[in-house]
A = this chain, B = another copy of it.
Amino acid sequence: MTTTLRTNATLDLGPAAALSCRECGNRTPLAAEFACAECFGPLEVAYEFGTIRREDIEAGPRSIWRYRGLLPVPADVDDHANTQPGLTRLIRADRLGAELGLKNLWVKDDTGNPTHSFKDRVVAVALAAARQLGFTVLACPSTGNLANAVAAAAARAGWRSVVLIPSSLERAKVLTTAVYDGALIAVDGNYDDVNRLATELAAEHEDWAFVNVNVRPYYAEGSKTLAFEVAEQLGWRLPEQIVVPIASGAQLTKVDKGFQELGTLGLVEPTPYRVFGAQATGCSPVSTAFRSGGDVVHPVRPDTIARSLAIGAPADGPYVLDAVRRTGGAIDDVSDDEVVAGIRLLARTEGVFTETAGGVTVATTKKLVEAGKLDPEAETVLLITGDGLKTLDAVADHVGPKATVPPSSKAVHEALGY
């Protein structure tokens, strides 16, 4: 645990009032801490919200900062250079819905973010909070989307960045992080080694904000903006069903938290909604726990093409089970072949090319409909959180030109069956 670098007198994290332990409920002042001093449970941000009106949000920036009154950031957050993520498209998905058997389907397409994944949201919140907490370097351990988002956000803000990756990472992911010219360090070891190293470095450097380690409580809040945007884009209404991919599980629990906050604050009618979770079978500890009916999420060794979801010991696993069970949802998992089929189905029907995580979401949705878990009549939203350009290998053996022909219209006609 690092110490608070600023005194509370100058610390302005907007409506954030304290950190609160998710296990024992113990409250502690806002600081760069992530584990409860009493019980070592994970800390999360607790708020004292002021009056927040729809029209103020609607008149705000075209980014997640329109919801700054609901986030642990100061009111002037957007005066500092930042990537301005969010407000991505929520699109009707009638063609996908027809294939899946869902009559009222929407896709939240988060590939439109600055580095093309939802990670830009959480990193932007982490950076804003880190600035208030007195940090000066943005850092993370990562195998992909988070590395891109941290390196880009730091570049835009004029901060130094330290990004730790396994040295075995694919070339494309290395390049798309290295181009931002931060301190990208390849570590000889697996992701667990890199993660341990990050925790060690966070303890040694009081000016380094590891977004998913020592400022994790603030970082995680950024995922609430997915819920806020979905509700606003539906016309200030909650969907009846939402399907969310599970990696650490933080996104799912924060989407749930976001819906609850909107209801509590009177920004939407607090209508019932059900939260569904999606995993790849090759890394499905939460799905397995859900199926068993238990509360314990047993760690697994990931083996799936859905690498951005491949967290074998998901920190928020138990809270995911709580949220899904409380709302009457379900969790399921799909094979790598189904993941690829999911990617292709979404691309073919809606023109959205997602990474493997999105394929997991689409394929799991299909499975949940077929099993009668998802109501075909209910308004449903799928969260598509990352971009297919980053995981081209997943589709490389499955798609290609219909034909290769000489440059004549006759040859084209033959190829097309005319």
Give the contacting residue for A155; candidates B62, B201, B348; CB below 8 A.
B348
Q: Which residues of B contact A116 (CB under 8 A)?
A: 116, 389
Given contacts A174-B401, A184-B401, contact A92 B87 (CB under 8 A): no
A83 within 8 A of B: yes
Tell me the smallest distance from the CB of A91 to a CB of chain B, in Å: 6
Nearest B-chain residue to A193, judged by Cβ? B407
Given contacts A185-B405, A197-B408, A407-B189, contact A400 B347 (CB under 8 A): no
Kindly supply a per-residue 1/0 record for chain A positions 110-125, scoring 1 wherever the CB is within 8 Å of any chain B CB and 0 otherwise. Answer: 0111111000000000
A84 within 8 A of B: yes
Q: Are B344 and A181 in contact (CB under 8 A)?
A: yes
A186 within 8 A of B: yes
Q: Are A176 and B81 in contact (CB under 8 A)?
A: no
Cα-based distance from A183 to B415 in the complex (angstroms)? 9
Q: Are A406 and B114 in contact (CB under 8 A)?
A: no
A172 within 8 A of B: yes
Within A101-159, the residues touching B (CB, 8 Å) are: 109, 111-116, 151-158
Q: Which residues of B contact A184 (CB under 8 A)?
A: 400-402
Q: Are A404 and B167 in contact (CB under 8 A)?
A: yes
Kindly supply a per-residue 1/0 record for chain A positions 74-102, scoring 1 wherever the CB is within 8 Å of any chain B CB and 0 otherwise. Answer: 00000001011001010110110000000
Given contacts A62-B62, A406-B187, contact A399 B178 (CB under 8 A): yes
| Interchain Cβ contacts under 8 Å between A and B, 21 examples | A81-B94, A84-B89, A95-B158, A109-B114, A111-B114, A155-B347, A155-B350, A156-B350, A174-B400, A178-B399, A179-B344, A179-B388, A180-B348, A185-B404, A185-B412, A185-B416, A186-B401, A186-B405, A187-B404, A189-B406, A197-B407
Chain-B contact segment, one of A26-34, A239-247, A390-398: A390-398
Tell me the smallest distance from the CB of A230 to a CB of chain B, in Å: 14
Q: Which residues of B contact A215 (CB under 8 A)?
A: none
Cα-based distance from A349 to B154 in the complex (angstroms)? 9
Q: Are B406 and A115 in contact (CB under 8 A)?
A: no
B-contacting residues of A (Cβ < 8 Å)?
Answer: 62-63, 81, 83-84, 87, 89, 91-92, 94-95, 109, 111-116, 151-158, 162, 164-165, 167, 171-172, 174-176, 178-181, 183-189, 193-194, 196-197, 200-201, 204, 343-344, 347-353, 387-390, 392, 395-396, 399-409, 412, 415-416
Q: Are A401 and B185 in contact (CB under 8 A)?
A: yes
Q: Are B395 and A201 in contact (CB under 8 A)?
A: no
Q: Are A156 and B351 in contact (CB under 8 A)?
A: yes
Q: Are A347 and B175 in contact (CB under 8 A)?
A: no
Q: Which residues of B contact A189 (CB under 8 A)?
A: 406-407
Q: Which residues of B contact A113 (CB under 8 A)?
A: 112
Cα-based distance from A84 to B186 in the complex (angstroms)? 39
Q: Which residues of B contact A404 (CB under 8 A)?
A: 167, 185-188
Cα-based distance from A133 to B156 in the complex (angstroms)? 44
Q: Are A201 and B389 in contact (CB under 8 A)?
A: no
Q: Which residues of B contact A153 (CB under 8 A)?
A: 351
Q: Are A178 and B401 in contact (CB under 8 A)?
A: yes
Cα-based distance from A396 to B89 in the complex (angstroms)? 31
Q: By CB atoms of chain B within 10 A, which of A95, A152, A350, A403 has the most? A: A350
Cα-based distance from A152 to B91 in the complex (angstroms)? 14
If A183-B416, A185-B404 are given as contacts, then 14 extra A-B residue pairs at C-beta distance below 8 Å, sorted by A number, are A84-B89, A95-B156, A155-B348, A155-B351, A156-B351, A176-B388, A176-B392, A178-B400, A179-B395, A179-B399, A181-B399, A186-B403, A194-B407, A197-B409
